[in-house]
Amino acid sequence: MDGSETLEMWARRAGFPTPLRPGEATRGWWNPETALAVRRTADSTWHVDIENRGSRTTEAVLETEEDANRFLLMRFGVLWRLEQGLEDCFPARADPSVVITEEGSVYSVRWNGRRAAIAGKRQAIRYSHVVDEPLALISARLMS
């Protein structure tokens, strides 16, 4: 299964059955109330946005499309696990090889010369555990 298929499978599991139309985002899925999407911005960063009833919030700003895909997959998986009544599969502490600092209204996540800005502390901690993992490994973690 390639990365696009993995993301689509998890989007459906998390209750986002419909892909966004081309041009609305690089990739994304929606349900009648909410959309989660990856968008490339003018400054060449990648944003993962959530849109609830027309109000869009950026959850993460990342340097690469692959990083954005990891974050999106993590978000879909966490939503699915909550719906299934499963415990969080990510440790409550950041991965020791990743540095997380609070910078204003976001959490800066730094690893291997890269960085991300993530709106929520718990999301930043979760993301620290998948920063360099292939989507297939993240998917397997979410199923455990």
Sketch the domain layout of the chain as residue ranges: 3-143
Tokens found for residue 124: 């930043």
d(CA 90, CA 120): 15
Task: Show the low-confidence residues of the chain (pLDDT under 70).
Answer: none
pLDDT at position 1, please? 73
pTM higher than 0.85: yes
Tokens found for residue 8: 């689509």
CA-to-CA separations, 3 to 22, 54, 56, 70, 72, in angstroms, rounded? 18, 28, 25, 10, 11
pLDDT at position 54, please? 83
d(CA 72, CA 88): 16
pLDDT at position 53, please? 85
